[in-house]
Structure 1
Amino acid sequence: MDTSFVRERITQLRMAKGISEYQMSYDLGHSRGYINNITSGKSLPSLTELFAICDYFEITLPEFFGGASNPKLIKDVNSGLEQLNEKDLHLIQSFVERLLQK
């Protein structure tokens, strides 16, 4: 993994959320070019800032590095699955397997 992963991951998560670099910079309490400097390769976030970015996207650090395109959605789905009974889980498992067959 190299530094380009962090830049690309932030861009991926930001675009999935539908916000601009400027808005994200502002929401994180930084100057308007903060996120642009990261995504353009001029700088990298500190570890503290990376945690703040994860909080911003409502994900954990492992989820950030996991690469899922929408980790919050996956977390929400998993949370819902935990509330289902075993019969319903088997039904969903069959459905997922069918979708993956394409």
Structure 2
Amino acid sequence: MVDYASYIRNRITELRIQKDVSEYRMSLDLGQNRNYIQGITSGKALPSMAQFLNICEYFGITPMQFFDQGALHSQRHSNALTSTEALESHDMQLMQRLFERLQQK
């Protein structure tokens, strides 16, 4: 059986670290008391459904992406491709060389 409560706590911590934001700052950004996120990540509480949706919005992901890390990586790839569409030809060539160099490492 999947322990969804642990998954939610761990996933919030993972996303928070990726965003480089403290539990305190995230709590305040969500309009909650300063210990709100710490209470979730320590296992003392879980977010309500409305607050879970706010947390997803805070991280700029959908609930599906919250539970499917592969979808999040796909979204990052999609965002990267969209960003390259606006590049001029010369810049695109530079990006291509950079990718090739990174792949050699």
TM-score w.r.t. length of structure 1? 0.71
Residue identity in the other structure for 1:67: Q
Give the root-mean-square deviation of aligned CA atoms: 2.7
Query: Of 71, 76, 95, which aligns to 1:73?
Result: 76
- Structure 1 runs of 4+ aligned residues shifted over 6 Å read none
1:75–1:35 Cα change, 3 Å: farther
C-alpha distance after superposition, 1:22-41 (max 9, x if no partner) = 00000000000000000000
Pick 1 or 2: higher relative contact order, CA cutoff 8 A, min separation 6: 1
- Radius of gyration: which is bigger? 2
User: What is the distance in 2 between the residues matched to 1:32 and 1:75?
Assistant: 34
Deviation, structure 1 residue 73: 2.7
1:9·1:67 contact (CA, 8 Å) conserved in 2? no
Report the counterpart of residue 16 of structure 2 in structure 1.
Answer: 14
**Structure 2 vs 1, CA of residues 77 and 34 (structure 1 numbering), >3 Å: closer, same or farther?**
same
Q: Look up the match of 1:91.
A: none
The more displaced of 14-23 and 59-68 is: 59-68
The 5 A counterparts of 1:14-53 are 14-53=16-55
SS of 1:23's equivalent in the other structure is helix
How many aligned positions are there?
88
1:51-99: CA deviation from partner (whole Å, max 9, x where unpaired):
000000000000000125x656345136458x6xxxxxxxxxxx9xxx6
Unaligned runs of 5+ in 2: 86-98
Residue aligning to 1:63:
65
User: d(CA) in 2 for partners of 1:23 and 1:13?
Assistant: 14
Opposite residue 58 of structure 1, the aligned amino acid is G
- Supply the AA of the counterpart residue of 2:26: M
